[in-house]
A = this chain, B = another copy of it.
Amino acid sequence: MADTSDIFNKVPELGYQEKAPETDPKAFARILEARRSVRVYDATPVPEAIMREVFEWTLLAPNSSNLQCWEFYWVRNPEKKKNLAKFCFNQPAARTAAELVVAVARPSHWKKHARQMVSTFEEAEKAGQKIPASAWAYYKKLAPFVYTQGPLSIFGHIKKIIFFFRGLTSITPREPTSHAGMSLWANKSCALACENFMLGMSAHGFDTCPMEGFDSKRVKKLLNLNCTDAVTMVISVGKRGPNGVYGQRVRFPSAQFIKEV
């Protein structure tokens, strides 16, 4: 298999420095407190500028290998929006929403985006920026090895066997080794971006509800998606109505989930 040790291990000499801006943890806590799943919206529209800014924020989420295998459909056409709400079983969170957004994972886009990363690097080097050798190698050699699964995941199966035997004696990467694994891979990055979207809306004083109760087949048909694409979630947006939040937030004790080992 491809030797990943150099790509992962060496710290490249780049001379690039980026200082983080000052941030306010209390402001973040308020945004988290404001984010509740809202089931009933009032009639307040969401300003277009806010939608656009929050979409930009959405795309700032970290994502696997920066391959950006995500898409966000802002369903504005009234007929389509009505149908989308229907495909979400007309639940109040969908039918009363000012805006509806469909977050989509598109794992098959890894290939063209890996090429796009290479051209981005070419342009950056022309502009005088230094791109580490490991980054070139990553997108030209390692990414194709990791993400190519082949028809019926045949290459994936072969990789799985190789990884199994290699893994008996060495630390070995394991996933993804199938098209289902690729879907999982892209859905995870897409979900990170969805959280940016929802928190971004809360930061602007608007509410959201992430929905997984929908007819994915009909939603995909509405958006002309194909079988390898996956609807990560549908997110509704608007301003909470007086009865929009159904109750106090319920979370089990954190000791159930935070394990110190």
> A21 near B: Cβ within 8 Å?
yes
> A215 near B: Cβ within 8 Å?
yes
Stoichiometry, as copies per complex, reads: 2
Interchain CB contact (< 8 A) of A39 among B11, B73, B175:
B11
Interchain CB contact (< 8 A) of A27 among B37, B60, B124, B203:
B203
Residue interface mask A219-252, B partner, CB < 8 A = 1: 0000100000000110000001011011111111
Residue interface mask A127-170, B partner, CB < 8 A = 1: 00101100100000000000000000000000000000001000
> A46 near B: Cβ within 8 Å?
no
- CB-CB under 8 A for A17 and B242, given A202-B23, A212-B64: yes
Nearest chain B residue, comparing its CB with the CB of A37: B62
- Chain A positions within 8 Å of B, measured between CB atoms, are 4-5, 8-9, 11-18, 20-25, 27-37, 39-40, 53, 55-57, 59-62, 64, 66, 68, 70-77, 80, 86-87, 89-92, 113, 116-117, 120, 124, 129, 131-132, 135, 167, 171-175, 180, 183-185, 187-189, 191-196, 198-200, 202-205, 207, 210, 212-218, 223, 232-233, 240, 242-243, 245-252, 254, 256-261
